[in-house]
Amino acid sequence: MSDKQPSWSFVHVTDIHIGSPDSYRYQPGWNDNWSTATRQIQALKPDLMLVGGDLARDGNTEPQQFDLSRKVIDAVGVPWHVIPGNMDTGNKITDRQGALTDRDDVACNVSEELLQIFKDCVGPFPWSVVHKDVRFSGCYEIIKDSPLPSAGELDRWLEQLALLPKARYHVMLNHYPLFIDDINEGAYDITKTDEYHAWYFAMDPAPRKRLIEAYHKAEVTHVLSGHIHCRRPPMTIDGITYCFGPSTAMPQFGDRWSDGDDTLGFQAFTVSEQGIVCQFHPLTEVSNRTDGWGPGGHPKPEAR
């Protein structure tokens, strides 16, 4: 950042879950909430917008929904960069069924085919760009150390990321948070009812450790995540500030932490000579429509 450059801003939106009335399930209120967020973002006039995954309600099973997601994001009128979420490409990989009986966890695994569909329908990832001496990067962190070919691509990209020209700040966009309660927490057990949601929402220790090591090598200063639909105050650990982002669609996991807040909205970041400051913007209006239909969660194929 050059001397005396005016402050500017970018926004982080995530888990917008734009659905389609042609689907087996639909919550029009979530689309209405995005329209409210759109008006608020336009009023802020940010330089750019980071979209942290879960663009569609069911992009992983109905990729035609991505057309609508792209359309409504484009309509904001702000340059944007995106990564996928689990509802776009599939969930964290498991080789066993979890404690919840209303879903087939193995069948929900992220796959190379779904990752490619997202790239074809929405855009390529991982990526890295520089804007006004801030480097912005984005990757789908949950495939780290998986057997998918894209995991090898991610490793090669992380190696190259450390070699790119440095900027004053480096903001990394992820979907899954790297941790739930503590950056050094152990693995959660998918087969235990009281640990299932923690397993579902966060990364496992080994890939987390290697990702953080790669982020330090690339001089990442901020990690922005979503997936949980619950905001927490930014936490700075070993020089990296972790920002948990809220959803614009629907709240969840708000009772996990004493400092958690699942109020719907988005976060705006002001960049100045003094640093990067985060401000939460709650939706000015939350839809109370009840004319949606279909099951929630991850229904088994026969329930769709």
Q: What does the block give as tokens for 54?
A: 């879960």
Give this prediction's pTM: 0.96
Question: Which CATH number does the domain 8-303 belong to among 1.10.3720.10, 3.60.21.10, 3.30.70.60, 3.30.559.10?
Answer: 3.60.21.10
The single-letter DSSP state of residue 261 is B
267 DSSP β-pair partners: 12, 280
Question: What confidence score (pLDDT) does residue 2 get?
Answer: 47
The C-alpha atoms of residue 193 and residue 197 are separated, in whole angstroms, by 8
Question: What confidence score (pLDDT) does residue 1 get?
Answer: 45
The C-alpha atoms of residue 230 and residue 70 are separated, in whole angstroms, by 24
The single-letter DSSP state of residue 3 is T
Domain ranges in the chain are: 8-303
pLDDT digits (tens), the chain, 304 positions = 445 679 999 999 999 999 999 999 999 999 999 999 999 999 999 999 999 999 999 999 999 999 999 999 999 999 999 999 999 999 999 999 999 999 999 999 999 999 999 999 999 999 999 999 999 999 999 999 999 999 999 999 999 999 999 999 999 999 999 999 999 999 999 999 999 999 999 999 999 999 999 999 999 999 999 999 999 999 999 999 999 999 999 999 999 999 999 999 999 999 999 999 999 999 999 999 999 999 999 998 777 7
Given the DSSP bridges, would you call strands 48-51 and 80-82 parallel, antiparallel or unpaired?
parallel
Q: Are 13 and 226 in contact (CB under 8 A)?
A: no
Question: What confidence score (pLDDT) does residue 111 get?
Answer: 97
Question: What confidence score (pLDDT) does residue 301 get?
Answer: 74
Q: Are 62 and 56 in contact (CB under 8 A)?
A: yes
Q: Give per-residue burial for 63-76: e unless 16+ CB within 10 Å, then b.
A: bebbebbbebbeeb
